Amino acid sequence: MPCPAQMLGFTTPIRLARVIFGGRTFRSYINPPREAHSTALPLSQHVFASNRRTEPHPHSCDNTARMPPQFTPRTLKTFQRRLLAWFRAHQRDLPWRSSRDPYRIWVAEIMLQQTRIAAVLPYYRRFLKTFPTVESLARAPQEKVLQLWSGLGYYSRARNLHRAAKEIASSHAGEFPRTLEAALALPGIGSYTAAAVLSIAYDQPLAVLDGNVARVLARLGAIRGDLRAPARWRQLAASAQSYLALTAPGDWNQALMELGETICTPRIPRCGACPVSRWCLARARGLTREIPAPRRKRAPVRIRIAAAILRDPRGRTILVRDPGAHDDVLFSRMWQFPAVEVARHPEAELATHLHDILKIDRASLHLEPLPSARHGVTFRNITLLPFLARVPRLPKRPRTRVLLLSRLAQLPASSATHKIAAALARR
């Protein structure tokens, strides 16, 4: 059976030991004497406190992880104490930090993927008010889950969260699993999320590695180049594990993330406010503006999407759910206005699309242009071109829904759909 470090993506074998903390047994990592290496950060021997008992694990693997060169065992402990003290004094008051409930931590970690904290906060509070436990989430219909997620984006996260909740309720007695292998088997759970939840909720000694942590570690070790390159990411993962404060892995992981989010920022790091800047090789060498190297961005693609708001005399509209224009990317397989990607003649191309999917007579259709809107999805720069069409009656077709425009928020719909609806108020 692979050791937890290998399951998280380490390629260098790490010898496992059992470390006893106050009667609780955890799997941890024991570092050997210093050893030179041409490509990875040289790390020295890690020394555990004398009151911890260690014994070889039956599925052990030899350890070659090492400490960064600017540290001795004593200075590493000082470094860890300084960062932990800073975090405990200055951490932001965030709702998922109010308890060690693994469900609350897990929901937060999923929502925070590729999404800023400020955007997540209102969604997180509403979500937990509606689904306070994993069992309540597991029992909910997917449409309700997606409705609460509407506007947050990356909707596969919500679908996987719902699927995983069902598995936890049925196979894990309603508790987020405590082992790395079981956590990684859940839908939507990767190495980062597993390490974050297990360390923060259960004190499992697993280091996290995300963009913020990678930037901090790269500057501490003056690591140049593309941090997302596979070999360099593995190097950073091994480095993250070697830094880990085993007495407080959850606080340690959050401290590194907090440092990267608030102090060691991408463009203008506030080194003067950093509690551990004395150990930073990038600062000592004047490289903080050069590390990390800028990521190569994919060339932007410009797309125009025409959408129709059909409205009957009662103020109702029709939404469709069949895959349409960039459904997976833009409308996320949720309820949307009829829409299609257009080239030169948006009105004519949209009229043809409406005839094809809803059998609306083009001759009697009048499309009134509404104010356009901008929308961005990764490298796509999308221009939304809404049109209003007043119709005597709405068509009846499979996989459509008729509702008052004022009730759009009651259905799961993407932010692009809400932008199209908002164009009516701006005309």
Tens digits of residue pLDDT in 176-226: 999 999 999 999 999 999 999 999 999 999 999 999 999 999 999 999 999
Distance in angstroms (rounded) separating the CA atoms of residues 29 and 17? 6
> How many angstroms separate the CA atoms of 60 and 78, rounded?
29
List, in order, residues 6 or more apart from 354 with CB less than 8 Å away.
308, 310, 338, 360, 362, 365, 389
Among 309, 336, 312, smallest CA distance to 324 is for 336
Task: For the domain made up of 72-284, give the CATH fold.
Answer: Endonuclease III; domain 1 (1.10.340)
Q: Tell me, which fold does domain 301-422 have in CATH? A: Nucleoside Triphosphate Pyrophosphohydrolase (3.90.79)
Those residues of the chain that have pLDDT short of 50 are 1, 10-65, 325-329
State residue 21's pLDDT score. 28
Name the residue with tokens 């995300």: 210
Distance CA 202, CA 193 (A): 13
Return the SS3 of 328: helix
For residues 358 and 338, the answer to whether their CB atoms sit within 8 Å is yes
pTM reported for the whole predicted model: 0.76
Domain ranges of the chain: 72-284, 301-422
Closest by alpha carbon to 101, among 119, 83, 124, 123? 124
**Whole-number Å distance between alpha carbons of 179 and 385:** 49
DSSP designation for 190: -
Name the pairing type of β-strands 339-341 and 301-311: antiparallel
Give the pLDDT score at 8.
57
Residue 246's Cα: distance from chain center in Å? 25
Q: Which residues contact 425 (CB under 8 A, 6 or more apart)?
A: none
Q: Is the peptide bond before 292 cis (omega within 30 degrees of 0)?
A: yes
How much of the chain, in percent, has pLDDT values that exceed 90?
68
> Which residues does the annotation mark as catalytic?
109
**For residue 343, how many other CB atoms are within 10 A of its CB?**
7
Segment 133-150, tens digit of pLDDT: 999 999 999 999 999 999
Between CA 89 and CA 331 the distance in angstroms is 42
**Fold agreement (72-284, 301-422):** no
Farthest-apart Cα atoms in the chain, separation: 86
